[in-house]
Amino acid sequence: MMHERLEDIVTERFVARVPEAQVELAAGFQREETILEARGLNVWYGDFQALRDISLAVPGQRITAIIGPSGCGKSTLIRCFNRMNDLIPGFRAEGELLFEGRNIYARGIDPVDVRRRIGMVFQKPNPFPKSVYENVAFGARVNGYVGRLSEIVERALRRAALWDEVKDKLRQNALALSGGQQQRLCIARALAIEPEVILMDEPCSALDPVATLKIEDLMRELAERYAIVIVTHNMQQAARVADYSAVMMMAGDRAGEMIEFGPTRQVFTTPREKRTEDYITGRFG
């Protein structure tokens, strides 16, 4: 399976790679249940407007990709979904960001609670400088989980397709793992707190093609259980894994705008916007 995919990257154009299943999905687009939704979201860092009027509905148990050129606000947007941007001085958001129908930026919503239910995987693998076991157990520990930690750790590592590789070195430092293993460990760490959504901010940009494909396979498996939002500037990757794609662009004042959102196949084959077509055919960006 993996070998086949490697060849695909080299030989095929990405448009032809969109699986047939996604075409069917496209037909059912309207009926799917939305888990995360941005409504007229505007974001500022100090005086600089980073996002303008973003509206987007992320369906549950699907993979949604956010693509676009560098600096268009993809990362800013995905980091709004679990309120990671709260940590940046000068950050301000207006509009609504609904998670299961509730605005996560409303007064009285604790960002810690949001982050427990919406997990995140970062661009560069960032395991804690501790053992493999402690990395996965950390989230469960801080959230005061009851139950056997070792079971939670094993389940998360199995779901992240890492168990067989690390089951004999759970006590070793996580930094001794390879880059791809570290990133799957970070996915396991996110899974251990039983989130409902997993956000991935360019999870493969620091990995080699083999490790990248492993993560992509894993994402397809995880999508049976979780909603996944992935930021990528690799269009082939979006075409390979995502059910839905959102295309973002930088406006004249450098604020990020969403110019297109729909089933991946439609976005890649019959985009409504000329700018989308220009971007995915490589004419700019």
Closest contact distance (angstroms) between CB of 221 and other proteins is 21
CB atoms within 10 A of CB 150: 12
Of 186, 223, 242, 258, which one interacts with other proteins (CB under 8 A)? 186
Q: Is 171 in the site for other proteins (CB under 8 A)?
A: yes
- Three-state DSSP class for 63? strand
d(CA 40, CA 91): 17
CB atoms within 10 A of CB 97: 24
d(CA 45, CA 90): 5
Closest contact distance (angstroms) between CB of 185 and other proteins is 11
Q: Is 143 in the site for other proteins (CB under 8 A)?
A: yes
Question: 170: number of CA atoms within 13 Å, CB side?
Answer: 17
Judged by beta carbon, residue 122 or residue 268, the one nearer other proteins is 122
Determine contact, residues 197/229, Cβ cutoff 8 Å. Answer: yes
Candidates 12-20, 183-191, 224-232, 235-243 — which segment interacts with other proteins by CB under 8 A? 183-191
Site for other proteins in 101-140 (CB under 8 A): 112-113, 115-116, 119-120, 122, 124, 126-131, 138-139
Residue 110, phi-psi category: left (phi > 0), alpha (psi -120 to 50), beta (remainder):
beta
Closest contact distance (angstroms) between CB of 17 and other proteins is 31
The CA-CA-CA angle for residues 145, 147, 148, to 5°, reads 115
Closest contact distance (angstroms) between CB of 170 and other proteins is 11
Judged by beta carbon, residue 120 or residue 160, the one nearer other proteins is 120
Total count of residues recorded for the chain: 285
| Site map (CB under 8 A) of other proteins, residues 193-232, x = contact | x---------------------------------------
- How far from the centroid of its chain's Cα atoms is residue 167's Cα? 26
* Site of interaction with other proteins (CB under 8 A): 82, 84, 87, 89, 112-113, 115-116, 119-120, 122, 124, 126-131, 138-139, 141-143, 171-173, 186, 189-190, 192-193
